[in-house]
Structure 1
Amino acid sequence: MSLMKQYPSKIFFFCSEPAPEGGETSIVQSNVVVEKMEQRLPEVVAKLSDLGLIFRSKTAKDEDADSDLNKTWKWVFKTDDEAEAEKRAMEMLNCSSVVFNGDGSAEFVFGPTNPIRELGGKRVWFLPFIGYTDNMNDVKNSFGDGSDMPMEAMVTYGEILEENCVDVKWHRGDILLVDNHSVQHARRPGKPPRVILVSVCK
């Protein structure tokens, strides 16, 4: 089964409690990301098409559980059992493997796979460079042959997201439906309490 078929196609967000400050959800069209990356770094996009991307994203350590963006694997999967967490990671994230570290963190590994896919006649950036973290040291990208991704690619990708995203300011009762195959989303830092309920479907 392809990654596209396994990956959730729709994400529903419901705002139960908006953050008193910040906490917006940023969304950006994935086809725009492809267009801008090809304009600014065509050689990187070509190499990714040839070799694929290996993407690694690390969770918070146990002592960093209060991080606003990055959470522990125990929090994400609602279990402290590594075997069960790995099973849920494969089902929910469709990652290639999971590595549990001695410091209480876990690393999710995706790929090698081409991060650009064809969808509805458009080429979309399907697998992001940036994970669910506010610390870029917790993210590592490499080409499919194991060679390092140039830092310029990471910086440019982040700039493109920032330049082309729309921030959704939440109000209680708001509902947002995202096409997860063609739109990327992320969370802005904000003050608690913030309660955004999420439901996904294939």
Structure 2
Amino acid sequence: MSAGPVRRARRTTVEPVTTSFLDGDFGMVVESRFPELDLVSHLTANRERVTEHLDRHGAVLFRGFSVPDPDHFGRAARVVGPELLGYLERAAPRTEVADKVFTSTEFASDQTIPLHHEMSYSHNWPSRLYFYCDLPAETGGATPLADERAVTPRIPAEVRERFRRHGVLYVRNYGDALDLPWQEVFQSTDRADVEAYCRQSATDFEWTGDGGLRTRAVRQVTARHPRTGEEVWFNHVHLFHSSNMPPEVREALLREYGPEGLPRNVYYGDGTPIEDEVAALLRGLYEEAAVSFPWRRGDVLMVDNFLATHGRGPFTGERRTLVAMSDLYVNRDVL
């Protein structure tokens, strides 16, 4: 009696990750099915695919992978951007906790940081950002994102054209009583170093009383993505505009120091004040486009700094989100 043909059991292969999106086609989420899956190894095997996802989707969130500490996070970031960047011409206090790995903006926990492109007030900036959730907040503390491809087309043509004609003028005053000390911003205690940086970056400067420093620089309104060729809105107008302050703080500082003496202010490139309504319009467009997710410990978020803006929500409890940056882009048009 024949036993008949032998049937072999089929082997099924389980994909190690699943993918989804934060909003439509924006913000890919790559989630590991296996908590022991090392993020550095995964990125090494999929580096080209990850960079393609960043160009297409603006941001990629890696969740559920093994990322045990800040050093490991730094190694993961270096797979995509081998040369991590320092942080010069700072706009916020940060602490370096590992090699080229910093704390995210150390502002008070009850404050909201509006959506923005990292260092879009400068002549150079990182093309890619990397965030790591070392400790999620008790409540809140999200890092919202907005798709610049959705925001730029919604900016009224007359607003875009006026800025394009003149550029954006940033005026900053550094000092202990106002903004960050210039020694922290430029990471030097030597005035000659600061002066050399300002000259090299087409920044006007003057030393003011009590060891202060004032700078003035005309910068870009838009930027062109180095790989996709897309032109996107790229500046700090809505963030540095004095209307971004609480009204009572703004009024007190204006009475004390005047418009030119504010810690930070921004004008049309010809020096004409930017209307409050224009700054509010821009802030509103980013707020309307914002998408958010609750941080989980070990999450790593990669952001294309041209294609997406990021911010921070208020929070309670302890929170530690770290950041690294790579792929320095220099805008030669403003130099």
TM, length-normalised to structure 1: 0.72
1:18 corresponds in structure 2 to 136
The answer to whether the aligner puts 1:129 opposite 2:237 as a matched pair is yes
* Counterpart in the other structure of 2:162: 47
CA deviations 1:150-184 (Å, max 9, x no partner) are: 11110100110110011232111110001012211
Letter in 2 for 1:26: P
Alignment correspondent of 2:277: 152
Q: Which amino acid counterpart does residue 6 of structure 1 have in structure 2?
A: N
Report the secondary structure of 1:130's partner residue: helix
SS of equivalent residue, structure 2 residue 316 = coil
Amino acid aligned to 2:152: V
CA 1:83–1:75: 2 relative to 1, 3 Å:
closer
Unmatched segments (≥5 aa) in structure 1? 65-70
**Is 2:206 the partner of 1:96?**
no
Distance 2:192 2:321 in 1: 25
State which of 189, 192, 196 in structure 2 corresponds to 1:81: 189
Letter paired with 2:287: E
- Cα distance change on mapping 1:146 and 1:10 into 2, 3 Å: same
Task: For 1:166 and 1:79, locate their aligned partners in 2 and report how far apart those are by CA, in whole Å.
Answer: 34
What are the superposed Cα offsets for residues 22-80 of structure 1, whole Å, 9 maximum, x if unpaired?
21112112232221112xxx222111111111134567x7479xxxxxx7347965968
Contact 1:51 1:114 in 2 (8 A): no
How many Å separate the matches in 2 of 1:149 and 1:30? 22
TM-score (norm 2): 0.46
Gaps of 5+ in 2: 1-119, 251-262, 328-335
Q: Give the superposed CA RMSD.
A: 3.6
User: What secondary structure, in the 3-state scheme, does the structure 2 residue paired with 1:173 have?
Assistant: coil
What amino acid maps onto 1:15 in structure 2? Answer: C
Q: CA distance change for structure 1 residues 108 and 170 in 2, over 3 Å: closer, same or farther?
A: farther
Q: Classify the secondary structure of the residue corresponding to 1:19.
A: coil
Aligned to 2:302, the other structure's residue is in SS state strand
- SS of the equivalent of 1:31 reads helix
Q: Distance in 1 between matches of 2:182 and 2:123?
A: 26
What is the rounded CA distance, in whole Å, between the counterparts of 2:147 and 2:165 in structure 1?
24
Q: 1:74, 1:147 → 2: CA distance? A: 26
* 1:96 Cα deviation from its structure 2 partner: 3.2
1:141 and 2:266 correspond: yes
Q: Is the 8 A contact 1:116 1:123 kept in 2?
A: yes
Cα offset, 1:191, TM superposition = 2.4
Percent identity, aligned pairs only, is: 23
AA matched with 1:7: W
Contact 1:62–1:103 under 8 Å retained in 2 = no
What is the aligned partner in structure 1 of residue 151 from structure 2?
33
Amino acid at match of 1:16: D
Report the equivalent of 1:68: none
Offset, 1:125 = 1.2
